[in-house]
Structure 1
C-alpha cells in the first residue's frame, strides 16, 4: 500500500519522515470457522461474540498504532473462508503488505489447509518482487479451549513454519516469546512467526499485530527504495561520471 500523506518524497529526512502517515494493508485468510472475524473484532474493538456469521466476500477494519516511534494505520481485511467465495480473493488480496494465515488448534484440517491458503494468496495477490519473500505470519487460534481437545501441537506448527520458510525463503523476523510455552511466538529467525492466540481472551493479539506491522513496514520500505534508485551523477564526482579527466565530454 502507498504511504499516505508523505512529505518530501521517499528520501525526505528528519522530522518530516518520522511524521509521515503510513497505511499498511494486512489480509487474514484461513478456513471458515477458525475465528478470523473474531480475531479482528477483538483486536480492533476489544469485543468478542460467540455467534459470528460467516463472512461473505471480505470486510475490513482499521487500527492506528505506534511502532518504533512511527504512527501506522493497519487496514486489516477479513476474508471469506468458504470455498465458493475464494474466487473473489484477487479483488481483496492485491496491494497487501502482509498476510496472516489462521488455523484452529482444535481442527487439524484447518492446519493442513494452510499451505493451500498461502499458495492461493500468492497466486491471487501477485506481489511484486520475489513472492517467496512476501511476509506471512501464522496464528494458531482458539487456545482458550481445553488442551485435551487440541489437535495441532505447537511443535508441529513450529516445524511447519520452518519448513515453509526453508522451502521458499519466506520473510521472517525474530519474535519475542510469550510468558509461557502455550502462548509463545516462534523464536526461529528463519521461520514464519507463529502466535498461539485466543480471540475470546485476547491472548497474543497485541504482540502479534506489532510483529505484523513491523514486517509490513519493512516490505513497504523495501518497495519504495526499489522504486527510487540512486541518481546518476553527471558532474564528474566519485569517479568521472560523464566527463573525461580534462573536463571534456566523454561521449
Structure 2
C-alpha cells in the first residue's frame, strides 16, 4: 500500500481543494493541523506546530511525499525550514512547496519570507518541486470587498495582477505532487492580466455597488516594482482557465442577500 501524502495547510483554501484530488487518485492523505481530529474518508489528521517544531518528526514519519501549503503572516521561513529538516531526517523522496509569483522582485517582507522558504526547500537535500501561483481569486475578492467599504476607493493603476482560481491551482498542483520532483516549475497565472481598478470595478458591478474610484500613485521601491511588473508571472507561465468574471458570478450567485445589496 502506498504511504500517505502529508499536506500541511490541508484544511485551508488551497489544501481543502487539493486533498480531494489526491483522494480521487487513490492516495491516502495525512493533514497536518494545530489540533488533532478523528480520521475521515481516508484522511488522517495529526497535530503539529511547525513554527515551534513540536511534533514535526511524528507528523512526517511514514510519508514519502510532503506538500507544504501552510503559511502565516510571520515565520514562514522558520516553519518551512523545520519541515524540510524533518523531511530529510525521515527520508522523504518529494517535498512540494507552494510559493507565489513575484517572490524575487517585490521588496515586501512577506515575499522575502516566501523566498527564504523556497531556499530552505532547495537546500534540504530532499528532491523538491516549487510552484509559484499568482494571487488567488478569493484573495483579490477580499481586498476588493474591503476597499469597497470606503466612500471613495483608492485605485493605484500601477498595480497589475494575474489572479488565478484556486480550483485551477489545486488541479495543477495535484499533478505536480503525483509526478517526479521537478525543481522550480513554470509559474501558474490566471487567464488574463488586470489592473487593480479593473478588478475593483468588476467586483463593484457584480456586487451591485457604486463607488467612485480615485487614481493614486504608489510611491517607493514597492511602487516601482509593481510598475515594472515584477509581481507578475515569469515568461512561460501556465495559464488557468477560470476568469475573474466567472469567479465573481459564481460567488455572488451563492452569496447571502446582504452581500449583494446595492449601497
Alignment TM-score, normalising by the size of structure 2: 0.39
Structure 1 or 2, whichever has the larger Rg, is: 1
Alignment TM-score, normalising by the size of structure 1: 0.40
